[in-house]
Amino acid sequence: MIDVLKMRVPLIKGFFVIFQVFLGTAIVGTAALLLADHFGVLEFVKPYVVMSGSMEPAVRLGSVVVVRPQSSYSSNDVVTYAPNGDKEKPVTHRILFKSYPDGITQAPVYLTKGDANEDFDRAAVSAKDVIGKSLFVIPFLGYVVNFAKQPYGFIFLVIVPATIVIYEEFKFLGKELSIFLMNSSSWLSARISKKNGIRLRRGINLLSKREKGVPKAAAVVPVIGTILVLSAFTGAFFSDTEQSSGNVFSAAESFGPPIANHLVINEVYYDVAPGKGDEGDSANPDEWVELYNPTSSPVDIKDWSIGDDEDGDNVSSAEKIIPPGGFALIAKSNSTWNNWDEDPDADKIPIGDKIGNGLANAGDTVILLDDNGAEVDRMSWGNDTSGFTSGCASSCPTVAEGHSLERDPDGVDTNTAADFVDRTTPTPGT
């Protein structure tokens, strides 16, 4: 048993040394990164503390995430972004969908979501507000960071350990000085008496023999504390603190209006311009409606209906899936799209008849019903005020000929007329 214990002691000491070296390297490397970031040495990376659980388990609460700007971002990238350009409250979430509301030649917008959240973030993220993509994550270091910023953290991590170490070092120094003086005295005595002297030690060892085996654990603490506090004093501790909440609704309340958790009527083109087809009062109108799926699940619109009253026209008698982040374009016939440069990925659904009785330019409503006849979404314009809970005092907003009404951003839903904007150049399928 004693032999076994003797074998295990060096092994335990070895693991302890490895752990100390690893911890110290991680802390020193992170502190160097933060200082370099502050002084502009490394402009291509940014470190942040994550103080929410919205990205569990990929990015755990209390982690440090290091991000790097990219020329473009794709679905499934974990990014840090500034909601509405507010870099004081950055959010680290995952991109689920990428869309081009102003056309594929313009900058994209992203729909993001925390892995631990059930719904999308309330507002789409513009490309200019994305700070960077996550390169790597250091778990739990954020707790140490925040602790060191507090007065009691400073005392615990720096003052107390530093006092202990300084005391120990002075004690060892005093002991070595005593030995040095004794040896010097003996050497002088030997020279004077012409006897064999005691060879003078050439160096002063600040650690006694019993301290040489394993580095003292106490030495690690002040190293960590010193690095952290030094970083804080130089103003380089962290660029900011990531503050998104595990509850996306309360966290994103100030970031923008909410994104719907259901299929929405996203864009309506009701006042057809010359060269784009026929008006709604003709036999073959070229009006169209764009549906959008802002949720994280596919939606089958088989046996759904759409119209300008509660008795809409059947959208599709066969299975018709709109994927997450996907669009569907509804018109009387596919010949409508001969006049448009629409997104080829958008599903085009000809319903074989007018949308309702034809969409009236002076005012009308569009209602989307599911396969049970339950209302999923509605909107209106002009003298029809039934589409919204507010924003239409005597009438709802209208648009000029050739324009469209579109949600901005895609999928936004506050049940008010403010959800829609006048789109001078309609964007079917994007």
Catalytic residues: 52
Q: Which of 348, 416, 407 is nearest to 426 (CA)?
A: 407
- Token pair belonging to 389: 């809970």
What is the C-alpha to C-alpha distance for residues 91 and 282, in angstroms, rounded to an integer?
A: 50
What is the C-alpha to C-alpha distance for residues 111 and 361, in angstroms, rounded to an integer?
A: 32
What is the C-alpha to C-alpha distance for residues 291 and 322, in angstroms, rounded to an integer?
A: 9
Q: What are the CA-CA distances from residue 31 to residues 36, 135, 226, 254, 289 (Å)? A: 9, 17, 10, 32, 54
Q: Which helix (H) or strand (E) holds 278?
A: none
What is the C-alpha to C-alpha distance for residues 272 and 285, in angstroms, rounded to an integer?
A: 8
- Token pair belonging to 51: 């103080």
User: Could you tell me the strand order of the sheet in which 305-307 lies?
Assistant: 313-314, 305-307, 363-369, 375-382
Q: What are the CA-CA distances from residue 336 to residues 190, 209, 219 (Å)? A: 112, 89, 75
224 contact partners, CB below 8 Å, separation of at least 6: 23, 24, 27, 144, 157
- Taking residue 85's Cβ as centre, other Cβ atoms within 10 Å add up to 9
- Cβ 367 vs Cβ 306: under 8 Å: yes
Block residue for tokens 């784009």:
276
3-state secondary structure of 81: strand
DSSP one-letter string for 301-355: -TT-EEESSSS-EES-SS--EE-TT-EEEEES-GGGGGG----TTSEEEE-SS-S
Block residue for tokens 């009253």:
309
- Token pair belonging to 8: 């295990």
